[in-house]
Amino acid sequence: MHIAEGVLSAPVLAIGGALAAGGVGIGLRKTEYEKIPEVAVLSSAFFVASLIHVPLGPTSVHLILNGLIGLLLGWSAMPAILVGLALQAILFQFGGITTLGVNTVNMALPAVLCFYLFRSFITSDKRAVVLVAAFFCGAVGVFVAGLLVACSLFFTGESFLQMARMVVLAHLPIMAIEGILTSFCVAFLRKVRPEILGVNK
């Protein structure tokens, strides 16, 4: 879902950069010192999970884990995902430096959204509610990221409209995979480290 260099228009790049700077600033202010190791581990997980790419025109299809990361970190997901994307751009030329802001917004903003939408359900005593919420958290994170990528392409030029549709459709299977993966991760964390999810046992 990384958008490559030389694809987006200057206004889209500028807006993406400004939004990313604001979001990362909020994330850094909200990140407590004790939480930095957790942010680092999840940034590493994002980095590794999204290394396997299936090219799709100016973008690519891969696991993101932004729903899970957002669920665990909230606003701290912004700097965590920024670091992962920056390393991928520098080391493997996935995405790019000029598109770093747009790519960060496209992947991290849905993560923050998932935190506010699903975090309260994860603390429920009903296992079914927790698992369903975790599934939708993973799926919605990918879906919204796909929509933002599509919007980034569309607002660059109407010639990208068909590609924007392909980006959303290509990520439908990834939505299901990430939903299942997020459910498994949340179920595991509730057993071994429930405090990470804000569950008191």
pLDDT at position 56 is: 58
pLDDT at position 134 is: 95
pLDDT at position 119 is: 92
pLDDT at position 1 is: 67
pLDDT at position 201 is: 56
Q: Is 149 domain-assigned?
A: yes
What are the structure tokens assigned to 97, written together? 């430096």
Q: Is 76 domain-assigned?
A: yes
Cα distance between residue 147 and residue 132, in whole Å: 22
Which CATH number does the domain housing residue 44 bear?
1.10.1760.20
Q: Is 27 left (phi over 0), alpha (psi -120 to 50) or beta?
A: alpha
Q: Which amino acid is at 32?
A: E
Question: Residues with Cβ < 8 Å from 173, sequence gap 6 or more?
Answer: none
Q: Is 4 domain-assigned?
A: no
pLDDT at position 55 is: 63
- Sign for the pseudo-dihedral over CA of 175, 181, 186, 187: positive
Q: Is 51 domain-assigned?
A: yes
Q: Is 154 domain-assigned?
A: yes
Query: Consecutive sets of 10 residues in the chain, 201 residues long: mean pLDDT of each?
Result: 83 95 96 92 88 62 87 95 93 87 95 95 91 95 90 82 76 88 93 82 56
Q: Is 145 domain-assigned?
A: yes
Question: How many domains in the chain?
Answer: 1
pLDDT at position 53 is: 64
Q: Is 148 domain-assigned?
A: yes
For residue 126, the tally of other CB atoms under 10 A from its CB is 10
Q: At which residue do the structure tokens 């999840």 appear?
A: 42
**What is the span of the domain harbouring residue 80?**
10-197
Q: Is 158 domain-assigned?
A: yes
